[in-house]
Amino acid sequence: MKILKDKKIIDVLCCPHCRAEMYVREEGSGVIACKGPKTHCFDLSSVGHANFSRPSQSGGGDSAVAVKARSAFLNKGFYSPVSDAIEKLTSKYLTDRGVVVDAGCGEGYYTMNIAKNGASVFGVDISKPAVEAASKRAKREACDNAFFGVASVYEMPIRDGSVSVVTNIFAPCVENEYRRILKKDGVLIVAYAGEDHLMGMKRIIYDNAYLNEVNRADLPSNIKEIERIRVGADILCEDNETVMELFSMTPYYWRTSKEDSDKLKSVEALRTEADVIISVYRAE
């Protein structure tokens, strides 16, 4: 049993049902509970994550198959320049040693890179298989300062004004909810696809491949952007398995007709590019 040991993370949690503060019920019990009148309890799994989703939210997010493909692809290191840039920005703005929340953390590839320098990180995702994979990874790496919970990023089990940095990487950006949990002067770091992201792959699939739309509708609009960087990387997939892993972790996987998707099935190698924008916003 992996126990939630990081007191800083426990202190920012709140009950998804009654919003009361949370505590570890008995040292070593693997149960966290709220201090509200109904004492809502949340069991930690054998790998240490908790399910904070409410019945109306459960079952969404990425499937086990998608999580497996993305983990396999990310573990090959193609996105490590992106991950390192996010980690550097997080360290730069984490000046008070407070808590980082990774909203839409998937299987924790970026979360764990942020945690490696000792930052206390809470990863939130609505996908149970993703959170389970993230937690297994933290357990494998004996990392006590990363904790993962199943919950929607639209309504996180986190206290108002309690966290120092929110990272939001290729996942839904919910400005109001992220601002709610951030401390005054806290920072929101959003990573999303730049114009040229994966164009090499898109050119194989589509006859008229368009540049990506960078003015995403959900990007923050009521909070000040204080820094923006663009990170590029050359991606060389040397076998079809890797090509298909990459394809299945993109939104195109869901949007593309079978006829167009099938074009990738015979591709033995693919050179494409990562083009990622990382924007930093400061809460006031």
Ligand X SMILES: C[S@@+](CC[C@H](N)C(=O)[O-])C[C@H]1O[C@@H](n2cnc3c(N)ncnc32)[C@H](O)[C@@H]1O
Query: Which residues sit at the interface with Zn ion, rule CB under 5 A?
Result: 15, 17-18, 20, 34, 36, 40
Residue carrying the six token digits 């920012």: 12
Both structure tokens of 9: 């993370």
The option from ligand X, Zn ion, none interacting with 147 (CB < 5 to 8 A, set by class) reads: none
When binding is defined by CB under 6 A, the residue of 13, 32, 100, 130 that contacts ligand X is 130
CB of 125 to ligand X, least distance (A): 4
Rounded to the nearest 10°, the torsion over CA 14, 18, 24, 26 is 180
Q: Is 87 in the site for ligand X (CB under 6 A)?
A: no
Q: Is 121 in the site for ligand X (CB under 6 A)?
A: no
Beta bridge pairs of residue 281: 188, 225
Q: Is 127 in the site for ligand X (CB under 6 A)?
A: yes
By beta-carbon proximity to Zn ion, the closer residue of 18 and 214 is: 18
Q: Is 90 in the site for ligand X (CB under 6 A)?
A: no
Residue 58's φ and ψ, nearest 5 degrees, are: -75, 155
Q: Is residue 51 within 8 Å of residue 44, measured between CB atoms?
A: no
Q: Is 172 in the site for ligand X (CB under 6 A)?
A: yes
* Separation between Cα atoms, residue 142 and residue 5, nearest integer Å: 12
Q: Is 188 in the site for ligand X (CB under 6 A)?
A: no
The option from ligand X, Zn ion, none interacting with 15 (CB < 5 to 8 A, set by class) reads: Zn ion
The option from ligand X, Zn ion, none interacting with 104 (CB < 5 to 8 A, set by class) reads: ligand X
148 by Cβ neighbours in 10 Å (0-12 / 13-18 / 19+) ranks as buried
* Separation between Cα atoms, residue 180 and residue 12, nearest integer Å: 12
Q: Which residues bind ligand X (CB under 6 A)?
A: 61-62, 70, 104-106, 109-110, 125-127, 130, 152-154, 169-172
